[in-house]
Each structure stands twice: as C-alpha cells, then as structure tokens.
Amino acid sequence: MIKNKEKLSKYMQIAEYFKAQITEGIINPGNQLLTESEIVTKFNVSRHTVRQALMQLEKGGYIYKEQGKGTFCSTKDKYTKKRTIAVMATYMSNYIFPSIIRGIEEVLSDAGYNLMLLNTNNEKQKEAECLQKIINSDVVGLIVEPTMSAYENVNLKWYKELAKKNVPYIMMHAKYDELDPAYVIMDDIYGGYLITKYLLQLGHRKIAGIFKRDDLQGVNRQLGYTKAMNEFGITLNDDLINNFETKEESYVPYEFTRNIINKKEIPTAIICYNDQIATYVLQAIRDAGLRIPEDISITGYDDSDIAIATELKFTTVVHPKEDMGRRAARLIINMIEEKVKKPTYIYKPELLVRYSTGEVPIKLEISNALK
C-alpha cells in the first residue's frame, strides 16, 4: 500500500509540473511534450507512472495525443480560456485600428494566445463595463487604448482592480499618468511640431489648426503646433484654432473651415488632427471654390488609407500601425511570461510629404501685405 501511495504522489507531481509549464506559457498550445521515454529519464520513474501522469493531464484538457506523432499541449478546453489577451479600443473597425489589430493578432496567434476584442465607442461608461468584463473573466493580459484620455480618468478604480488580480496591461496611443502604466505611444508633441515646422519653412505664417480635445493625441499635437509657431515668432490667433470632441468630428471641422475661409484674411495652411479630419477640411475648401494646395495647403496625420484615397494625396505624419500592434503584443506577452515590469516604447514620428501642401500662394502674400 505504501508503494502505491508513493507512485500516486509521483505521478501527481509530474502532472502538476506540466500543468505549471502550460499555464505559465512555457509550453504553448500546439507544442509537443517530451516523449514517454524522455519523461521517464527526466523524473527517474517507471513508464507506468508517466502514463498515469499523462492520463491525468489529458482528463484535465491540458494535452491531447495524436497516433504516431506524440502528445501535444491542448489548443482548446478550459486551459485556453486562461490564455486570452483582451484588446480594448475606442473604435475597432475603422480608420487605422484594423491594421493595429492585424499586428496584435499575428503575434498573439503565433504565441498561442486567444484574442478578445472590446470596443468602448469612446465612452467612459462603456470603458468601465469592458474593464469589469475583463476583471470577471479569465483574461491574462490587456492591451488598452484609453477612452477620452485627455479627460478625468473616472475608471481609475477598475484599473486598480486589474492590478489586484495581477492582470498586466499596456496602454497604446495614450496613457493615464496617475497609473504609471506600461505603454506604447507616439511622440505626438514632436509630430505636431514636425508638420507645423515644415509649413513654416515653406513660408506659411497664417496656419490654422484643428485638434481633438478629448484625447491626449489631439492635445499633444496641438502642443507641438504651438511650440513650432512660437519658435518662428508667430503670435497665435485663437480664431484660427479649433478644438472639437470626437462626437463632433463629422461636422465641426467642416463648419470651422467654411467660417475661416469666409473671413478677410484666410489662412494659407490648415493642420488637421488626422487624415479623417483632413477629408472634411478638403471638402469645405472645395465647396468654397478654392484649390489645394494652390490656394490653401492642408495636412493630415497617421498616413492612413484615407491619406491616399483620392487624387489629392495628403502630406501627413507616418503612424506605425501594424508594427505598433506587434510591439504591444510582444510587450504584454513579456509582462505575462517573463514578469517584465511596465515596459515602455515611444515611436519618433516621420513626416511624409505629398501633394496637399505647397509654398504660400503669391496672390495671398500680396493681398495680405496691402492690408
């Protein structure tokens, strides 16, 4: 009887060893386990003991066997539920995010993780609901694009709950400083500075700016715009600056552009929060009978598909998209598997010059000089 108890204890030890290897991500779904002979040698036990351990793992859904091939880590059952990484974004299906998701999915799939997609629709209440769903699930990590990141973080308590559950998370595009989180972002202050400086170097001085005010990307791009204008000694004109909220983006940029065009001293260039906003500005300029860039230059940001969707290709700032997704995925996996503490990465923006920008129109220079 004692001998049987010793055998029972040993096979359970072996089973628990492989369970830990699987749940900690050392052995990933689809990976082949050691052969029976290799396990016998590794643990110095009988083949019978090894088979008992494997039977225990198979019953628990941790492994499966393929005749003539070997034993493999399971890619289904309850185990995979513990290897799901959530991605929570403001918008999931439009603009640049599908490309980011492709990058994330590529890395997570290769590493054997499931992907859960959650959409906050840029609403704080929905962000809270998504966070609660994650907290009450078997999610092992989270990649999150903060919702209305320029406004007060009313969901701070839910992020703290994630920390209590030891669920690592990494923020993308923006970060809540009060949480001191891991993050992957762009240097949007430099991006706004870079594109404004380019226009200033072309001779533009009356440069309008349209920026989103409810996310940090918009706030930081405006800071870059302000920095460049100050460097060139240009006094900011509040009448040429517009700050809109996400819910207003389909009409406010268009209306703002029409209004400033109708003034006596119209701007010679307009900097847009992103490529999507640039399309509304483009339409307003064309509806007013003006040309781009002959009458007014415009710029986008993000180098999305929209930037090259029409015959007029936007001068814009390059966004890393898929690379950002892949990097965020690799970093969250490192946080889960290697216990890396709060990794960070900042992309340096690059300017991409196309056909929506040009030098200051001569006729505007003359007319403004006469006033």
Full domain range(s) for residue 246: 188-319+352-370
- Between residues 333 and 80, which one has the greater pLDDT? 333
pLDDT at site 9: 63
Q: State whether 119 and 69 are in the same domain.
A: no
The pLDDT assigned to 369 comes to 41
pLDDT band at 15 (very low <50, low <70, confident <90, very high): confident
pLDDT in tens, 243-267: 999 999 999 999 999 999 998 779 9
309 and 207 fall within a common domain: yes
What is residue 8's predicted lDDT score, i.e. its pLDDT? 45
CATH code for the domain of 284: 3.40.50.2300
Indicate whether 27 and 161 sit together in one domain. no
pLDDT value, residue 76: 52
For the stretch 186-204, pLDDT in tens is: 999 999 999 999 999 999 9
- The least confident of 2-6, 24-28, 30-34, 292-296 is 2-6
- 79-104 per-position pLDDT tens digit: 444 489 999 999 877 899 999 999 99
| Average pLDDT of the chain, as a whole number | 90
- Mean pLDDT along residues 162-173: 95
State yes or no: pLDDT of 303 exceeds 90.
Answer: yes
Q: Which carries the bigger pLDDT value, residue 363 or residue 20?
A: 20
Residues 226 and 156 in one domain: no
Query: Do 205 and 311 belong to one domain?
Result: yes
Q: Same structural domain for residues 212 and 312? A: yes
54 shares a domain with 35: yes
Label residue 28 by pLDDT band (50, 70, 90). confident
> What's the number of domains the chain is made of?
3
Q: How far apart are CA 288 and CA 305, in angstroms?
A: 25
Global pTM?
A: 0.77
Q: Is the pLDDT of residue 370 over 60?
A: no
Q: For residues 109 and 347, which has the higher predicted lDDT (pLDDT)?
A: 347
SS (H, E, C) the chain: CHHHHHHHHHHHHHHHHHHHHHHCCCCCCCCECCCHHHHHHHHCCCHHHHHHHHHHHHHCCCEEEECCCEEEECCCHHHHHCCEEEEEECCCCCCCHHHHHHHHHHHHHHCCCEEEEEECCCCHHHHHHHHHHHHCCCEEEEEECCCCCCCCCCCHHHHHHHHHCCCCEEEECCCCHHHCCEEEEECHHHHHHHHHHHHHHCCCCCEEEEEECCCHHHHHHHHHHHHHHHHCCCCCCHHHEEEECHHHCCCHHHHHHHHHHCCCCCCCEEEECCHHHHHHHHHHHHHCCCCCCCCCEEECCECCHHHHCCCCCCEEEECCCHHHHHHHHHHHHHHHHCCCCCCEEEECCCEECCCCCCCCCHHHHHHHHHC
| Encoded tokens for 321 | 């998209």
Contact between residue 44 and residue 61 where contact means Cβ atoms under 8 Å apart: no
pLDDT of residue 78: 47
Position 362 scores a pLDDT of 66
Two structure tokens written together for 207: 């440069």
Q: Are residues 215 and 141 in the same domain?
A: no
Closest CA to 219 of 196, 243, 193, 199: 243
CATH of the domain at 34: 1.10.10.10
What is the arithmetic mean of pLDDT over 340-349?
96
Q: Identify whether residues 223 and 300 lie together within a single domain.
A: yes
pLDDT at 2: 33
Asked if residue 204 and residue 140 are part of one domain, the reply reads no
**Per-residue pLDDT reduced to its tens digit, 270-279:** 999 999 999 9
357 and 216 housed in the same domain: yes
Identify whether residues 146 and 209 lie together within a single domain. Answer: no
